[in-house]
Amino acid sequence: MTQQTQPIFIMAEGNTRTYGKDAQRNNIMAAKLVAETVRTTLGPKGMDKMLVDSIGDITVTNDGVTILNEMQIEHPTAKMIVEVAKTQEDQVGDGTTTAVILAGELLKNAERLLEQEIHPTVIVKGYRMAAAHAQKKLLEIADDLKKNDVVTLKKIATTAMAGKSAEASGEILGGLLIQAVNQVVEDDSSVDLDNIKIEKKVGGGIEESELIKGIVLDKERVLESMPKKVEKAKVALVNTALEVKSSETDAKIQITDPNQLQAFVEQEEKIIKEMCDKIIESGANVVFCQKGIDDIAQYYLAKAGIYAVRRVKKSDMEKLAKATGAKLVTKVDELSKDDLGNAGKVEAIKQGDDDMTYVTECKNPKAVTLFLRGGTQHVVDEVERAVKDALGDVVSALQVGKVVAGAGATEMELAKALREYATTLSGREQLAVQAFADAMEIVPRTLAENAGLDPIDMLTELKAKHDGNNKWAGIDVFKGKVVDAWKMGVIEPLKIKTQAVKSASEVAELILRIDDVIAGSGGSKEPQMPPGGGMGGMPGMM
């Protein structure tokens, strides 16, 4: 009698498993597709993407991390590549596209080695060695940046904005950015970007953007009868409500006599008046309140000629404190003239249909506002993204104190150094290091392709220049020739390159080590019936 072999199920029904070369191939394909998506956006001649979400809102951008976030990618490996862009954005604020296409190219080159039967762990080891050597070389070739080198800082800002909507006004915006950073920079060269508030409004041209040495709030004064402008402002910052607080616990008040009601109302009014009197006594003529201001309080403040704004965001209150020197006060009873800040002028200004409050002419403010303008909402949104990238670059350059040339020059110099390094190795890792060196060339090749130039001609000429010890030879995408990128003013912070190499190599190594992908069905957790309908080896019931 033949014994039937019962199939053994170790995974829930509906789960899928891909392993071996199929898993590696699928993962590499997903990474390459993500890289191809953003590749056309690189450089001054990069194109934009239009992203339309489920409710029809449109985003037009060539910012790598914005594109990848809006795409709502589902593939698990592709999500890992998106994480590279997010890390780059968090750490530097720019260079997201570079990091993603470098990761994609590292995996593409690894695929060729896998087809030659080179083991993934050998490739991973080679990539790790190459990444470490690349980091060492980057430190060697980088030039020092002085904190007060405004010319170089401005070049860094304009380089970051190249290829974006803000490019045409790059000189103007670059100057504003440097002023903003110089205003808030600390003695140790650190900059808290939260101290640079970005306010944007549709209307006017990008060139009409301005730096306000103070804070602009998208808020209006609470009463029209309040003064429209206050000179030599004494600013009080109150982060409690100027109204009678409701009880923390449920309470019930029974009133049996109309006089009791009147006394109750009068008592409330008295409490509010005392609050207002305390503010008036302190000498404040401008009040910013984080919470609500009662109608009665509004009346008393307006009567005293005080400019008041309510429901100011906590982050804006903190910026106001840094700009004016005022202290945040929680108890109005304890407000004194020592808690007040100073501003040369506080005024209500109408921008389009919106009333805004300008707090300006602050003495040595440690928080400022970049007020951006643009013809349409999409333009002003893209200008904001460009400005944030540029700010991230300038701050990174100041923190690390080292800069390199852009235009593909740094990547070509790294490729050259890695090829020389590969010749010193004897094992199969040599092939992985060479593959890493080839991957570095994806940046200049993409710059050439996006500018409509012949990538082979450009790379050949670049190699010749770098072999002749011209370390900053890069591509001028406008003239279509190889030039000295440093002299051309294409300068980037070293941190963009170190972070891109680090993130791209680490994610490539992680993906290459995966040889098995087990995906859950996401369905019911109930035990699944084996095929045939019976239960665990019992014949099916009729």
Catalytic residue among 96, 159, 369, 498: 96
User: Does residue 527 form part of some domain?
Assistant: no
* Percent above pLDDT 70 for the chain: 83
- Domains contained in the chain, number: 3
Report the b/e string of 308-323 with b at 16+ CB within 10 A: bbbebeeebbbbbbbb
Grade residue 217 by pLDDT with cuts at 50, 70 and 90. confident
Say yes or no: 322 and 253 in one domain. Answer: yes
Measured between alpha carbons, how far apart are the two ends of the chain, in Å? 25
> Using CB atoms within 10 A of its CB, is residue 208 exposed (0-12), middle (13-18) or buried (19+)?
middle
Greatest mean pLDDT among 132-146, 162-176, 184-198, 389-403: 132-146
Which is nearest to 109 in space by CA: 373, 441, 518? 441
Catalytic residue among 48, 63, 294, 476: 63
Q: Would residue 360 show up in a list of annotated catalytic residues for this protein?
A: no
The pLDDT of residue 254: 64
Q: Would residue 389 show up in a list of annotated catalytic residues for this protein?
A: yes
User: Does residue 119 form part of some domain?
Assistant: yes
Say yes or no: 308 and 327 in one domain. Answer: yes
CATH number of the domain where residue 432 is located: 1.10.560.10
Tokens of 88: 């780059």
pLDDT in tens, 490-504: 888 888 888 888 888
Angle at 142 (CA atoms; ends 452, 405), nearest 5 degrees: 20
User: Does residue 167 form part of some domain?
Assistant: yes
User: Does residue 316 form part of some domain?
Assistant: yes
Say yes or no: 280 and 346 in one domain. Answer: yes
Neighbours of 366 (CB within 10 A): 17
Average pLDDT over residues 192-209: 77
**Under DSSP, is residue 480 helix (H, G, I), strand (E, B) or coil?**
coil
The pLDDT of residue 166: 63
Say yes or no: 68 and 120 in one domain. Answer: yes
User: Does residue 308 form part of some domain?
Assistant: yes
User: Does residue 293 form part of some domain?
Assistant: yes
Say yes or no: 252 and 313 in one domain. Answer: yes
The pLDDT of residue 8: 61
DSSP 348-408: EEEETTEEEEEEE--SS-S-EEEEEEESSHHHHHHHHHHHHHHHHHHHHHHHH-EEEETTT
Tokens of 315: 């982050």
Catalytic residue among 48, 389, 393, 476: 389
Q: Would residue 338 show up in a list of annotated catalytic residues for this protein?
A: no
Q: What is the pTM of this model?
A: 0.72
The pLDDT of residue 255: 64
Tokens of 288: 């910013």
The pLDDT of residue 538: 39
Looking at the DSSP bridge assignments, the partners of residue 463 are none
Given a contact cutoff of 8 angstroms between Cβ atoms, the answer to whether 523 and 15 are in contact is: no
51, 82, 221, 234 from 72: Cα distances, Å: 11, 10, 40, 48
Average pLDDT over residues 431-447: 87
pLDDT in tens, 116-170: 888 888 888 888 888 888 888 888 888 888 777 778 888 888 887 776 666 666 6
Say yes or no: 226 and 353 in one domain. Answer: yes
More confident residue, 17 or 414: 414
pLDDT in tens, 514-529: 776 666 655 434 444 3
Say yes or no: 100 and 37 in one domain. Answer: yes
DSSP 15-48: -EEEETHHHHHHHHHHHHHHHHHHHTT-STTPPP
Say yes or no: 487 and 420 in one domain. Answer: yes
pLDDT in tens, 221-280: 778 888 888 888 888 888 877 766 655 555 566 666 666 556 656 666 777 777 788 887
**Spatial separation of the C-alpha atoms in residues 373 and 60, rounded to whole Å:** 17
User: Does residue 341 form part of some domain?
Assistant: yes
Average pLDDT over residues 409-413: 86
Say yes or no: 391 and 442 in one domain. Answer: no
CATH number of the domain where residue 319 is located: 3.50.7.10
Strand ranges (DSSP E) for 82-139?
none
Given a contact cutoff of 8 angstroms between Cβ atoms, the answer to whether 117 and 450 are in contact is: no
Catalytic residue among 66, 77, 97, 498: 97
282, 312, 359, 419, 479 from 329: Cα distances, Å: 12, 14, 19, 62, 59
Say yes or no: 279 and 344 in one domain. Answer: yes
Q: Would residue 96 show up in a list of annotated catalytic residues for this protein?
A: yes
Domain that holds residue 263: 215-364
Given a contact cutoff of 8 angstroms between Cβ atoms, the answer to whether 416 and 467 are in contact is: yes
State which of 344, 364, 384 marks the end of a domain.
Answer: 364
User: Does residue 16 form part of some domain?
Assistant: no
Q: Poorest-confidence range of 183-187, 323-327, 494-498?
A: 183-187
Say yes or no: 297 and 430 in one domain. Answer: no
pLDDT in tens, 343-376: 888 888 877 677 788 888 877 777 788 888 777 7
Say yes or no: 109 and 120 in one domain. Answer: yes
